Amino acid sequence: MNEPDAPFWRSKTLAQMSQEEWESLCDGCGKCCLIGLEDMDTGEIHLTDVACRLLDGQTCRCRDYANRQREVPDCVQLTPDNVGQLHWLPKTCAYRLVSEGKPLRSWHPLVSGDAESVHRANVSVRGRTRMERKQKIRTLVRRITLWPEAEE
């Protein structure tokens, strides 16, 4: 950290970022809004293709971000204090990468300068989710999806 002329995500910790910087770290992949199932034996999280009812499946953004926790009480708000413990975050998630001291991927909009690069890299859930409904666990198990994580 503290490299001269380094971008903020390499020169600041998550806790040092302004609200605007923090929000810009989100790459817009939408994976954190998917329903995940935890394997009780291994603790591993398996993501489904079932998305929170507030996720816009085309923009991969929350339809009511400002009120999401009132609308969806179990929505987890990312903070500098909890990112390191949220092991279900995708390995490509910028919040996770920065907290682990790793670089952002080349397709991240802050690196590429293009908000569509995350979609072109096939890392987002754009157009590949179904809306959350009251579903039984056995139905959700059948919806487990292996999501691509573009490597560098």
Q: Is the pTM of this model over 0.95?
A: no
- Please answer whether residues 27 and 123 qualify as being in contact, where contact means their C-beta atoms are separated by less than 8 angstroms: yes
Question: Is the per-residue pLDDT at 147 higher than 90?
Answer: no
Tens of pLDDT, residues 82-122: 999 998 899 999 999 999 999 999 999 999 999 999 999 99
Q: What is the DSSP letter of 34?
A: E
Across the chain, which distance is largest between two alpha carbons, in Å?
53
pLDDT of residue 152: 53
Question: Is the per-residue pLDDT at 32 higher than 90?
Answer: yes
Once rounded to an integer, what is the mean pLDDT over residues 75-79? 94
If phi > 0 it is left, if psi is from -120 to 50 it is alpha, else beta; for residue 101 that is left
Question: Is the per-residue pLDDT at 142 higher than 80?
Answer: yes
